[in-house]
Amino acid sequence: MNNTRHINIVTRLRPPITNEVNDDGVRVTREGDRHFISVNNPRDLTQVFKYPFSSCYDQDSTQQEIFDNEVEPMTEDVYAGLTVTIFAYGVTSSGKTHTMQGTKSDPGIIPRAVESLFQRKRKQANVTLAISYMEIYKDEVYDLLIDRENAPKLPVRENGAGQVFVANLSSQVVDRVEEFHQIYSEATLRRSVASTNLNRASSRSHAILTITVTISDPTLGKALSGKLNLVDLAGSENNKLTGNDPSRMAESSAINKSLSVLGQVVHALNQGASRIPYRNSKLTRILQDALGGSSVGLLICNIAPAPKYRQDTLNTLNFATRTRNIENKPVINEKDLKPAPKPPMSRRLPQAPARRPSEVPSGLTSRIARPSLTHGPSRSSLPSSTIHSEPVTVNVNIPPQNPPPAPGLTEEEIDARIAKAVETEVARRLAEHEKQKAIETESRVSLEEGPSNSSQKSPVVEDPSSHIGHMSVDEDLRQRLAELEQKFETGNSELRMVSDLSPASRKRTGRAYVALARAQSEKNNLALALELYRKAEAYVPDNVKLKERIIEIEWAVKNGKPFKPSPKKPRKKKTKKTAAAEKSRATGSESVLQDSRDENNAPPVFGSSLLVGSTTASFKRQAEGSEIWETPKRRYKKIRASIEQEDDDE
């Protein structure tokens, strides 16, 4: 079998529909053994375009003829363990769905292919057939084997071997042809279909039916897994002809976009581009294996004969001409059913209990597997064989590193963890604050009771300042050093926590601390509020307003005064009349200044009611002292200066 195969191209011209104009502008011609699709140029009827293809079927062709000549030989490839993809392409109302599905009296490719696969199954043992059916509607994937009301949007994933699959797509094993027809007919009713001016049952989505054939060989311990993908693509639409309403136009836009990306992929493959835009659409992502991959491909181009479809017919034939140049490299899908061999007894060494990184010596570090940063693949995408690795001990000096972030967390989970950590920290600090207040109250009571008790025992009156000297200077210094060390360690841990977070997470954490601090300041717990504001500052150090709030609360705590937040200045809304008046005043002032320069040949004099300057700097100097040019940084300096002035006065 040749390792490289081109995508086979088949063209089919449908017969004209009742009341449809037919000018014989599209026809199948033969010159010896060669077949052509001849199309009259819609702009110059004297010019004829000829497209040579290996298989061209005219209006008199039958479903049985196309299946026997083109599809039946490909079922052998499925039983050989290959992936076969057959998809119908063409403009809307060109007969794609009829070619793929057909009718009860004249079945199409899908029911005939299934019957052929079951006929081969009867001749072989240990063969299993399973089907899955999905549609791509508005670039979202839905499972057609499930009721549409309960069908969720399915994500498209890629396993470790680079194979693309649809996650959580259901699959059903079928044992008889009748069972398949029942399941398929019910699933087809769930497909998105609507009526347009060109087609009373127009497909509004791309449908993909996958039949998986598994052939097991217990004696050899192997299994072949062949696939047959039958794709019914939605047709490209011209909204001027279809008469679509807004909802139909949204569907048409999604269809045309996915087909456009399909054309871009084919063009990139022909050009040998370094990047193929498979990911630009769910359709091309799923069909990636059939377009330059490891699948055997067959493209059936359906053509409509009417003159109104002439330009779309030329586009379809040009697409088919580019597609036949694509080369695929089919690969046999073989699985090993034998269990993985167990390692010898000498390698089955007991593993030591896991230790924390802090407990592992720096000189002798055991090799520990790195946790995955993403969710593992689904069970269907796991490799069949298992690789056993031997435990290795390496003597390397590895510097301590921060623990990696939690694997696979969403933004909501991160926010929830941050909020929970902040609440726990606030509860702990509240408990410490209450405990400190209780200690201070007890010490105050003991200081008050101390002199009274001593006065009863002795008439000697002691100086109250003598009670302060109970603690020696060394103990006082030791306590101060311990407090500073604790504060330094807390700050370092906070900085380490901040450095591990992303900028967005830092901002969210800072906002959470600010909200908690604001709540405590409203309860007049200024000390705790100040501590929370400082915590928030570690996460958003460049926030000028936050620094101003910290300065205001520090001043209130230091002077024992209630905290009153500075009111926000109301923003004046500019109306059109106000803007026009300001513009006219500015124009008038400039004319007055120009007249004064001409008459007196001297610089202008600024009045108290008019602030005009030759430069922006002079305007800032004139506006100095007012709040027009007061920036947050200047306001911050002003508050700091006022607080220092009050401290000096006291």
Angle formed by the axes of helices 526-539 and 473-500, nearest 10°: 50
Q: b vs e for 616-635, b when ≥16 Cβ sit within 10 Å of the residue's Cβ?
A: eeebeebeeeeeeeeeeeee
Q: Are 188 and 101 in contact (CB under 8 A)?
A: yes
Is residue 506 within a helix (H) or strand (E), and if so which, with residue range? helix 503-522
- C-beta of residue 618 within 8 angstroms of C-beta of residue 529: no
Q: Using an 8 Å Cβ cutoff, are 222 and 126 in contact?
A: no
Q: Reading across the β-sheet that carries 26-31, which strands appear in turn?
A: 26-31, 34-40, 48-53
Closest CA to 26 of 234, 321, 240, 317: 317
**b/e sequence 237-262, b meaning 16+ C-beta within 10 Å:** bbeebbebeeebeebbebbbebbebb
> CB of 194 within 8 A of CB of 248?
yes
In this structure, are residues 133 and 145 in contact, taking their beta carbons and an 8 Å threshold?
yes
CB-count exposure of residue 283 (10 Å: 0-12, 13-18, 19+): buried
**Which residues does the annotation place in the binding site for ATP?**
90-97
List the beta bridge partners of residue 193: 203
Nearest partner of 510 among 480, 483, 545, judged by Cα: 545
* Residue ranges at the known binding site: 90-97
Helix 503-522 and helix 411-457: axis angle, to 10°?
A: 40
CA distances from 405 to 248, 402, 496 (A): 45, 9, 13
Pair 562, 556: CB distance under 8 Å: yes
CA 487 and chain centroid, separation: 41
Q: Which of 382, 298, 379, 300 is nearest to 77 (CA)?
A: 298
